[in-house]
Amino acid sequence: MERDVPNTRRRNIVNWLLGGSVAGLVASVVYPLARFVSPPEVPEAATDQYTVNIVRKSGGAPSSIVILRS
């Protein structure tokens, strides 16, 4: 029975190492996925509206027009 003690201890260490590795692997997969599926804070650029700046050759103040897609 005495010979089983160090074996059990070694087995526990291996179990912790394996368990920790698996937990690390799972976390490294789940974390990026969880971040990916959450909508980003910066919204996607609207593609149905364009702003065009017009610079006058005569040197007057620049003006802009907005084109909207109906």
Partner 1 sequence: MPMQVQSVYAWLRARLPLDSVLDLAEHKTVPVHRYSICYYLGGMTLFFFCVQVVTGILLMLYYRPSAGEAFESVEFLMTTVPFGWLIRSIHSWSANLMIFFLFVHLATVYFMKAYRPPREMTWVTGTLLLFLALAFGFSGYLLPWNRLAFFATNVGTDIAGAVPVIGGYLMRFLRGGDRVTGGTLSRFYGWHVAILPAITTAVLGIHLLLVQIQGMSVPPSEEETAKQRRPMKFVPNFLLRDIFGWTLALALLATLAALFPWALGEKADPFAPAFADIRPEWYFMFMFETLKFVPGGEVLGIDYESIPILLFGLLGLTILLVPFLDRNADSPGRTSTFTLLGVILLVYVTGLTAWGYRSWLPILITLALALVIYLHGRGTGRAGRSGEK
Return residues touching partner 1 (CB under 8 A).
Answer: 25, 28-29, 32-33, 35-38, 40, 42, 44-45, 47
Q: How far is the CB of 59 from partner 1 (least distance, A)?
A: 34
DSSP label of 3 = T
Closer CB to partner 1, residue 21 or residue 63?
21
CB under 8 Å to 51, separation ≥6 — which residues? 64, 65, 66, 67
Q: How far is the CB of 30 from partner 1 (least distance, A)?
A: 12
Beta bridge partners of 19: none
Token pair for 44: 């996607």
Closer CB to partner 1, residue 5 or residue 37?
37
